[in-house]
Structure 1
Amino acid sequence: MTRMTPFASPLFLGFDAMEKTLERLSKSNDGYPPYNIERLMPDPSIDFAGGFRITLAVAGFSEEELDVTTEENQLVIRGRQVDQPDRDYLYRGIAARQFQRMFVLADGMVVKGAVLKNGLLSVDLIRPEPERMVKKINISVSE
């Protein structure tokens, strides 16, 4: 039996990479670290058309242990804590843990910045208004 996908329609041309990305993201359903996504409202006084803020709970991670990158159309946030061998724990309920969170970005999305404050990492995303272009395609006649 053939599996039907949302992008199987002949009207969706060139969406193969997006379909593969969606499949990969659906398989990584680890809930750590928890996060919020909020919409940032437009502010005409500073020419800001709106965007998004992703906030991750990264208590215990320092700035050096966090990495925020964009790879192709994906925002990748990684955290790598290193065990400190000079500590002698009697009880350890907070594990040194690694994580990787990936968010697919639409074309034109730009990371404005990232801030770490009070154990929360906030990453702001904006989408600059694209130029409206109409491109005339010439038709050639072949005989």
Structure 2
Amino acid sequence: MPPSDPTVAFDIQPHQATPIYRQLVEQVQRLVASGRLAPGAELPSVRAVAEAHAINPMTVSKAYSLLEAQGLLACRRGVGMVVAESVTPTSRATERLALLQPALEAVARQAVQLGIRPARALAAFEQALASLDPDKENA
């Protein structure tokens, strides 16, 4: 698949406590908020996502339906699901950070439970971010 295919951007973790449909919903919300999925952008078909990630098509359909109900996606006849034209990327950093806050709180709880000091947890988080940075040049 080409790198621009949104299917590749989905990071499905089947063993995570968060249901798979919720993982898809949250990832699409973040991709739209960041502008990586622009209005009018086509999403891969239910079947393509299900096959690429070996998940039930009904799970993908449920996620797409929830996103459509939220007004983030629209069904375009003959094309499939697209990002709704009325949606604009979230330009304010505070709004984008609000989408990240639940995950940060969960990781913070885990660090406290593991007895990891804040400075070490922050360093580990920075290292994880750096390893995923698409703008980082391969040295």
TM-score range, shorter chain: under 0.3
**Which protein has the bigger helix share?**
2
TM-score (norm: length of structure 1):
0.24
Work out which of the two has the higher radius of gyration on C-alpha atoms and give 1 or 2.
1
**Which protein has the bigger strand share?**
1
